[in-house]
Structure 1
């Protein structure tokens, strides 16, 4: 079972869940304040001027920190489940990286924007 088109359903589902968990994690982080701890911002030219004016950061709440920790734990668990899946023992070592990349591409969830573009 080394043909990349014959990935086990369970492995495809795990990889898709991993893709979705990464996307959810990135989206959640994008909505949080820029600093985990409260920190004063700065005006353009004071420091890191390539970012322009940076507002004060109130920091993350305990709930936000717990959510990020939970999301990271889920990402670790899914990553381990994909990497340790029994399927990989059937893939020749020299094909492992290519096959892994094929799995990532094949299991990538369809984005809503690409569905509307093709419709």
Structure 2
């Protein structure tokens, strides 16, 4: 028996209702990894020639008032560039698979989070604290 009077005894901790936006740390980390890889792949791709294979390009044309932008001749990607691009792309695929296949989403389904509510939860993850790489504004705020 408790020495405290019934009015002062602690009530059992009430369970908080399930929150589909209370993401587990490992899911946030997986989303962060996917976002960072996407940014790295995008930045790397911007340094590459416009075509993976050598191509003669084509001239700029205007036909019936419509402009069709041309492309210069390109030597294509080197073997090293192709290997690095493929490595980054595969890492991104694995990271996004880890996010999409995370057990959290199965739990959401068991808790009745489905349809548009599940889509909203997945979209919210992309902006959740700890799941987004630092931006310039973040750096400026902490400086």
Q: Which residue of 2 is the match for residue 99 of structure 1?
A: 121
Q: Distance in 2 between matches of 1:116 and 1:80?
A: 29
**Equivalent of residue 56 in structure 1, options 73, 89, 92:** 73
The structure, 1 or 2, with the larger RCO (C-alpha pairs under 8 Å, 6+ apart) is 1
The alignment yields a C-alpha RMSD, in angstroms, of 2.3
Q: Greater helix percent: which structure?
A: 1
Equivalents in 1 of 2:51, 2:84: separation in Å? 15
Identify, as 1 or 2, the structure richer in strand: 2
Structure 1, 13-22 or 38-47: larger mean CA deviation: 38-47
Task: Give the secondary-structure state (helix, strand or coil) at the position aligned to 1:93.
Answer: coil
The normalised TM-score by structure 1 is 0.84
The aligned length equals 117
Structure 2: distance between partners of 1:3 and 1:12 = 15
Q: Is contact 2:62–2:68 with CA below 8 Å preserved after alignment?
A: no
Q: Give the TM-score normalised by structure 2.
A: 0.72
Deviation at 1:4, TM superposition (A): 3.9
Out of 89-98 and 22-31, give the one that drifted further.
89-98
